[in-house]
A and B are shown apart, each in its own frame.
Chain A
Amino acid sequence: MNLFLTVGIEMHAEMKSISKVFSTSKNTFSKHSNTHVSPVDIALPGILPVVNKECVRKAILMASILHCEIPDYLCFDRKNYYYPDLPKGYQITQSHAPIGVNGYVDVPFLNDSLRVFIHDIHLEEDSARLEHLMDETLINYNRAGVPLLELVTEPVFHSKEEVLAFLEYIRKIYQYTDISDADVKRGQVRCDVNISLSEEEGKLGTKVEIKNVNSFSNVMQAIDAEVKRQTDLILDGRKSEIEQETRRFDEATKTTVRMRSKVDAIDYKYFIEPNIPKMRLDSNWIKEIQSSICELPMSRMKRYENMGLSLEDISVLTKERVFSDYFDECVENGCDPKTAANWITGSILSYLNKTEKKITDISLSPKDLHFLLSKIDDKTISGKQGKELLEMALQTGKKIEECLSTSDTQISDEAFLEELVRKIVLENPSQVESYKNGRTNLFNFFVGAVMKETKGKANPVLTKEIITKYLS
């Protein structure tokens, strides 16, 4: 029997901002519990929310990237429910007029692209973090009021690989645009996964929601587990036992566990947040935000492909925006794209990995890299030497020129020296003539020329050998 899978994703990402979405507390990670907390975050009686404009800007930015329709007015709603991690007893979110609706995004998938339709994207606040100990639970309010973007897709995915491609691409966009660090390890991304299995292609089965899955690999595993559970039930003739419900993924057993059925669904009693007046979104402001969108990874990937870069290099270069920006700047400075890609994904990346540094931490500028590559290109130095110089420049923070002049490394690259000598010999026919006519003291003229070109770093013995060979 063929079963057809359909998945829809709700992806929550913590936004990057100086302060929280409705209070002035810092929005930053702290090792210490309950340090970034104001009366607003802990919902003391009498507090009021104040919307953080920067968060609205970023929400509009993301809505625009997802080709969403943006409403004329900004509004918020209250989602009412009781839970110890929710200080006000309601969450301020956007239910009736989200910041973006009816959008789409093209996601790279299997050397092609996959169009994912977006139901909506909305701005809301995070809850406090509950820390469950052996026999008690602690509440850390640092996270309470942290801005969240919730992105809701249409039910468009038909394999877990498509889901993963989507999640990774969205994470990349968040990082490229500085909207969110989208650091899964720090719990900045959480997903709700809606799954349905159908016996008929093009039809949806019964929707089961798996809530609060906290990593991409768990999303994959949760899909597997739920597909297996439902498949087993269907094969067992117990299809009727699949009902619309909310489940959670249990990491220990790698299974999904029932939380509540549809009949027990919570009525969140949404209504408009009266403390935030409806605000008109200035169309000029929206245009300004839209014009600030940086070139997105998908477009960069296509551009690199046209430059003739390998898929592997493209993947490495576009992994992080700073990396891709660095590469682009090298090309702008005149580097050959393939050569620059080789050096960046090779020597530079291995240095960064070894030292756990970022490309923005190194003093070697794209200009410097271009200078180095041009020296190799015009044979002033060998490729091997170039690598050594690069290494030195990265380690010492010195400029390439400086490294080149102070470098003690002796040039013993035979092929390189031969090429250099050949060039000098060709450029000085009269001296060659005179030498061959008996002025043997001109031998030192050729040695001197090599030393001048290599700034005295040519291996003298090897140089003399090569010169003798060429002059004879």
Chain B
Amino acid sequence: MKSEILSLSNVSKESLLNETKKKVLEHQEKCNSFVTILENASLGEGKESKLSNIPYVLKDNFSTKGILTTGSSNTLKDYIPPYNSTVYQKLLDAGAILVAKSSMDEFGMGGSGITPHTGVVCNPYDTSLIAGGSSCGSAACVCDKVVPFAIGSDTGDSVRKPAAYCGIVGYKPTYGMISRYGLFPFASSLDHVGVLTRSVVDAAIVGNAIKGIDSHDMTTFDSSSIDLEKEIEEPISTRKLFYIKELVRLENYPNASEELKSILSQFHEFIKTLQSQGVLVEEVSLSRELLDVIPSVYTCISCAEATSNLSNLTGILFGEPGVGKNVVEQMIDHRTKGFSPLIKRRLIIGSYVLQKENQEKYFVNAQRVRNRIVSIMKGFFQKYDACILPCASSVAPKIKDVNDKMKRESSILDNHMVIGNFGGFPSITIPSSFINGMPVGINLTAEIMEDAKLLSIAYQCEKLLDFKGGETK
């Protein structure tokens, strides 16, 4: 079993921490992954767990008492919360050591890692490329072997996409398995806490440590009967997998790049490998019409919820107070100065689709499509254990080519992972291979509550793929 976390149990924790601190600084210099570096992080005492004295990084949208938490936004650039998110509290209780807080696309709204208020985060494999977002800093530092694990959040594919671009494991459990209390919200019905590691086993270990019902989050459920590590070595030969043919057939992409061709051919090769292992892999159909509207549905729902969720940012009680003759002007000033244009655009879209005269046409219809897609997927999950697909249509794009995440043209292959958020399905990305020296990944998604099974399938795939994290530059 390949667990870096467990392999560290025999290492001197003192030297591990010092080593990590050094790596944090080097990595920051190279990739700009962090908003806050906790130089005074020290070893804990007496806490016995698999994570005790293991250094880790937390995305900067998790509330940490007494530690700056910005959501990578200028509106909260000096905000020090007075309370702990449940995830941070659980990691504190487990004895893990927070060494840095990672930057992200502002409030999680973006998939590039180029919008943090502290600047662009770049890909450790090639610093001219993006790390992907929104959990860019968390993905980059795990990729660069700074820490064995980092915590992210995933509203569309914000853990799984950067994991794919950085060649690491990104796991988003079933909705409600990990408490969102203290996670700065983007879109509450889609937001998930996620884990970034370099192995599936480590994702299971961290997932076990931070999951659980929480009296502060009514959407959490009791998952005490689910052990993510226990069944991980179950054989894969009896599993039944499916992929969506519309997403992986080359003929569906008339202008396919060489990169996409490689991604698809490698995917099909891996399917053959699985089949040779006795795994049943079949193709299913999900209509092109539904696949095409996924980004619009996601935009409607996520922006609507975001515009409401971010309404507490007025500068009245926290954040830099705005300037103006009256309180309305002060709120407007605070928000005008604080939010980046990208956020403003999303908030305006959200507000627009919620307006009385538009709500039925956009927001409510988006919910209908969301439910439709989810019920189709649930139908597939009745017959199959998991869905297997490539993560994206390309390797990490160049920083200079990315200017607006909300581009009109996007490949259906770049947006399907949001289905996991629509349905609250557990979903994991594992690195599969290199194309032109850059990593690409495979995504596996299963029915809700089937996290243990999903991780076991991912673990076996990981073994078959035998991906060796190459040297980062």
> What is the interface of chain A, defined by CB distance below 8 A to chain B?
39, 42-51, 78, 80, 82, 84, 87-90, 137, 139, 267, 269, 271, 274-277
Closest 3 CB pairs of A and B: A89-B311, A269-B354, A274-B189
Is B81's CB under 8 angstroms from A84's CB? no
Q: A44 and B218: CB pair below 8 A?
A: no
Cα–Cα, bound, A362→B365 (Å): 63
Complex Cα gap A72–B331 (Å): 40
Within 8 Å by CB of A49, from B62, B85, B218, B318, lies B218
Binary CB contact string for chain B from 287 to 319 against chain A (1 if under 8 A, 0 otherwise): 000000000000000001101101111101110
Question: Contact between A269 and B82 (Cβ–Cβ < 8 Å)?
Answer: no
Residue of B with least CB distance to A40 = B216
Cα distance, A46 to B11, chains bound together (Å): 36
Across the interface, do A269 and B188 meet the contact criterion of CB distance under 8 Å? no
Residues of chain B with a CB closer than 8 A to A46's CB: 61-63, 81, 85, 180-185
- In this complex, what residue of A is CB-closest to B76? A45
Complex Cα–Cα for A33 and B259 (A):
63
B317 contacts A82, C-beta separation under 8 Å: no
Complex Cα distance A277/B355, Å?
Answer: 23
Chain B residues contacting A277 (CB-CB under 8 Å) are 218-219
> Are A50's CB and B308's CB within 8 A?
no
Pairwise interchain contact B308-A275, C-beta atoms closer than 8 A: no
**Other 8 A-B pairs with CB < 8 A, given A46-B62, A89-B311:** A44-B82, A45-B79, A46-B63, A46-B185, A48-B219, A87-B317, A269-B359, A271-B308
Give the complex CA separation of A168 and B342 in angstroms: 53
Closest to A83 in B: B327
Nearest CB of chain B from residue A319's CB, rounded to whole Å: 40
Q: Is the CB of B218 within 8 A of A90?
A: no
Identify which of B79, B82, B308, B314 contacts A80 (C-beta below 8 A): B308
Chain B residues with CB under 8 Å of A275's CB are: 188, 217-219
Rounded to whole Å, the gap between the CB of B290 and the closest CB of chain A is: 22
* Min CB–CB distance B320 → chain A (angstroms): 14
Task: Verify if B71 is at the interface (C-beta below 8 Å from A).
Answer: yes
Determine which of A39, A50, A84, A137 lies in contact with B82 in the assembled complex, contact meaning CB atoms within 8 Å: A39
B159-195 contact mask (Cβ, 8 Å, vs A): 1 or 0: 0000000000000000000001111110111000000
Assess whether A45 is in contact with B316, with CB atoms less than 8 Å apart: no
Contact of A269 among B83, B180, B184, B351 (CB under 8 A): B351
User: How far is A157 from B69 in the complex, measured between Cα atoms in Å?
Assistant: 54
List chain B residues, Cβ under 8 A from A139: 316-317
Contact A39 B83 (CB under 8 A): yes
Identify B316's interface contact among A39, A47, A84, CB under 8 A.
A84
Q: Are B82 and A88 in contact (CB under 8 A)?
A: no
Among A46, A267, A269, the one with the most B-chain Cβ atoms within 10 Å of its Cβ is: A46
* Residue in B61, B79, B317 with the greatest tally of chain A CB atoms within 10 Å: B317
Are A90 and B311 neighbours in the complex by a CB distance under 8 Å? yes
Query: What distance in Å separates the Cβ of A68 from its nearest Cβ neighbour in chain B?
Result: 25
Q: Are B188 and A274 neighbours in the complex by a CB distance under 8 Å?
A: yes
The residue in B82, B218, B354 that gathers the most chain A C-beta atoms within 10 A of its C-beta is: B218
CB of B328 closer than 8 Å to a CB of A: yes
B63 contacts A78, CB within 8 Å?
no
B215 within 8 A of A: yes
Q: Are B318 and A89 in contact (CB under 8 A)?
A: no
Q: Contact: A271 with B354, CB < 8 Å? A: yes
Q: Is the CB of A267 within 8 A of B355?
A: yes
Q: Chain A residues with Cβ under 8 A from B184's Cβ?
A: 45-46
A89 CB contacts on chain B under 8 angstroms: 308, 310-312, 314
Residues of chain B within 8 A (CB-CB) of A84 are: 314, 316, 327
Q: Report how far A110 CA is from B61 CA in the complex, Å.
A: 62
Asked if B363 CB lies within 8 Å of chain A CBs, one says yes
A220 to chain B, nearest CB (A): 33
B312 touches A48 (CB 8 A): no
Known: A48-B216, A267-B355, A275-B218. A88 touches B81 (CB 8 A): no
Residues from chain B with a CB closer than 8 A to the CB of A42 are 317
Distance in angstroms between the alpha carbons of A80 and B305 in the assembled complex: 11
> Is there contact, CB below 8 Å, between A80 and B354?
yes
Distance in angstroms between the alpha carbons of A88 and B183 in the assembled complex: 15
Interface presence of B356 (CB below 8 A): yes
Shortest Cβ distance from residue B180 to the other chain A in the assembled complex, whole angstroms: 7
A267 near B308 with CB under 8 A, answer no
Residue from the list B218, B307, B359 in contact with A51, Cβ < 8 A = B218
> Please, how many angstroms separate the alpha-carbon atoms of A47 and B187 in the complex?
13
Distance in angstroms between the alpha carbons of A275 and B351 in the assembled complex: 19
Q: Tell me which residues across on chain B come within 8 A of A137, comparing CB atoms.
A: 327
**Candidates B217, B312, B355; contact of A43 at CB < 8 Å:** B312
User: B215 touching A50 by the CB < 8 A rule?
Assistant: yes
Bitwise interface map of B from 77 to 91 toward A, beta carbon under 8 Å scored 1, else 0: 001011101000000
CB proximity of B74 to chain A, nearest CB, Å: 14
Contact of B312 among A45, A78, A267, A271 (CB under 8 A): A45
User: Are the C-beta atoms of B218 and A48 separated by less than 8 Å?
Assistant: yes
Q: Please give, as numbers and ranges, the residues of chain A lying within 8 Å of B327 by CB-CB distance.
A: 84, 137
Question: Using Cβ atoms and an 8 Å threshold, which residues of chain B touch A80?
Answer: 307-308, 311, 354
CA distance in complex: A82, B308 (Å): 10
In the bound complex, how far is the Cα of B420 from the Cα of A395, in angstroms?
73
CB distance from B176 to the nearest CB of A (A): 8
* Choice from A48, A50, A51, A267 contacting B180 with Cβ under 8 Å: A48
Measured between beta carbons, the chain A residues less than 8 angstroms from B216 are 48, 50
**Contact A82 B331, beta carbon cutoff 8 Å:** yes
Among A82, A271, A274, the residue within 8 A (CB) of B311 is: A82
Question: Contact at A48–B217, with CB atoms within 8 Å?
Answer: yes
Q: Which residues of A contact B313 (CB under 8 A)?
A: 45
- Enumerate chain A residues within 8 angstroms of B354, measured Cβ to Cβ: 80, 269, 271
Instruction: Say yes or no: B311 contacts A276, CB within 8 Å.
Output: no
A271 lies within 8 A of B363 (CB) = yes
> Which of A47, A78, A88, A274 makes the CB contact (< 8 A) with B181?
A47
Bound form: Cα–Cα A342–B125 in Å? 93
Cβ–Cβ contact B218 & A269, under 8 A:
no
Instruction: Decide if A271 touches B188 in the complex (CB within 8 Å).
Output: no
The CA of A139 and the CA of B327, in the complex, are separated in Å by 12
A-B contact pairs, 11 of them (CB 8 A): A43-B312, A45-B69, A46-B180, A47-B181, A48-B180, A50-B218, A90-B311, A269-B354, A271-B305, A271-B354, A276-B218
Which residues of the partner chain A approach B69 to less than 8 Å between Cβ atoms? 45
Please report the C-alpha to C-alpha distance between residue A339 and residue B69 in the assembled complex, in whole angstroms: 71
From B83, B305, B307, B331, contact of A274 by CB (8 A): B305
Contact at A267–B83, with CB atoms within 8 Å?
A: no
